[in-house]
Amino acid sequence: MHHKVKEWVKRYLPAEIISVVTTIIPAIVVYRLTGNLVATAFAGTWGGNIGYFGFIIRTDIFATNKQLRADGQVYTFSTLLKNIRALFVEFGVAELLDSFVIRPSLMYCLPLLVGSVTWGIVLAKVIADITFYIPVILGYEVAKKHYK
């Protein structure tokens, strides 16, 4: 199990670090420009998604390309589609719930509850990440076994 945890940390921690920045900055900017917590919640959610998934897909493409080159093969459009399919298996259900229900709801409610937009967004991100990673790790293990 320790090996699995190390593998998951190696895969997800760098993307999470990027996601923290790409969540907080858009959320704060949108809140300062609009004062609207709904817009702030979606800016934080989607900013974080862009940073997180941008890093994940880039990492997967580079790793697949490196492996293919070592085997004397080339990365093709078909290979890209396989990478994307594996990501859908890994993240699909969790991401739909996270991006459209859980994370925006928390990013709307928690700033109101804690009395601070910044700390509310940070707390919402942490709580949403917990609910996100349980199905994601299960999806990762399935995708790794069947699609990578």
Query: Between helices 37-70 and 77-97, what is the axis angle to 10°?
Result: 150
122: which 2 tokens? Answer: 């940070």
Residue with tokens 């890994």: 90
18-77 per-position pLDDT tens digit: 999 999 999 999 999 999 999 999 999 999 999 999 999 999 999 999 999 999 999 999
Predicted pLDDT of residue 143: 83
113-132 per-position pLDDT tens digit: 999 999 999 999 999 999 99
The Cβ of residue 43 has, within 10 Å, a number of other Cβ atoms equal to 24
Global pTM reads 0.86
The Cβ of residue 51 has, within 10 Å, a number of other Cβ atoms equal to 21
Predicted pLDDT of residue 32: 97
Predicted pLDDT of residue 148: 60
91-102 per-position pLDDT tens digit: 998 999 999 999
Residue 19: which of 86, 98, 112, 101 has the closest Cα?
98
Mean pLDDT of the chain: 94
Predicted confidence (pLDDT) at residue 108 exceeds the cutoff of 80: yes
Predicted confidence (pLDDT) at residue 147 exceeds the cutoff of 90: no
